[in-house]
Amino acid sequence: MAQSKTKRGMSFTGQLTVYDLPAVADKEIVSLSNTKPAIANALAHGLNTGDAIWVESESNEAINGYYLVNKSDEDTFALIGLDGTNIGTVTDAKFATMEAYLFCDVTSMKVSKLKTKTSDATTICDADPVTEVDKEAGSMSLSAFWMPDKPVQDLIDELSGEMETIFFKYSPKESRQIFGYQVKITSLEQDGKSGEKWQLSIEATINGAIRKLKTDSKQNINSKQNTRRGVK
């Protein structure tokens, strides 16, 4: 049997972007469609495919959250991650963009998309054991070189202390897909050893569904860094 010469697997290269908290959401969304994903009508929105935004509504707070954008035209875009089939009529939604910081010091990343918990639900009326399976929130683990003077790490340190829900975006190199994660940091640790570089460890809980956007072209990312990595 002839051996396949196709390259298998994908290298751990790409871009991880961390977003600051949104400013006041003041850009109007005229309407949201009852489709999956929801299509936003926002005149001259100025967004591009792959952008991350914050959306909020007073009449339907369930839609409040971070989403990826898939641009349709100058006045409409899809909100990746928002299932609009059951949101009803929303006419007061607004959105805001956020300042983005590249997190280039990451050395490893682990995403647990789904976790389940099994519990015993047997009652005295059941002849046989009965179990229930509950879906739990996913999680993310990151390791990085600790660089305390970098704005992105200063931002992470500040937002984790405030227990805020923040947004990460991962764009794998040579892939057409972009992933967005609403997360709340649950653990932030620095680990230093004599003669070695400081390491940063981040644990986070993923809130809600992972935003998954498939673009028309692969991400062309130059992951090379010429700066010194880590501090001793």
Residue 232: pLDDT band by 50, 70, 90 thresholds?
low
85-124 pLDDT per residue, tens: 999 999 999 999 999 999 999 999 999 987 788 889 989 9
Distances from the Cα of 195 to the Cαs of 52, 106, 154, 230, in angstroms?
40, 20, 24, 12
Residue 1: pLDDT band by 50, 70, 90 thresholds?
low
Please tell me the predicted confidence (pLDDT) of residue 231: 58
Structure tokens at 172: 């794998």
CB 229, CB 145: distance < 8 Å: yes
For the chain, count helices (H), then strands (E).
1, 17
Percent of the chain past pLDDT 70, that is, above it, reads: 91
Please tell me the predicted confidence (pLDDT) of residue 133: 86
130-172 pLDDT per residue, tens: 988 888 889 999 999 999 899 999 999 999 988 989 999 999 9
Residue 224 has pLDDT above 70, yes or no: no
30-43 pLDDT per residue, tens: 999 999 999 999 99
Q: How many CB atoms lie within 10 A of CB 131?
A: 9
Q: What is the distance of C-alpha 2 from the center of its chain?
A: 41
The pTM for the full model equals: 0.85
CB 48, CB 71: distance < 8 Å: yes
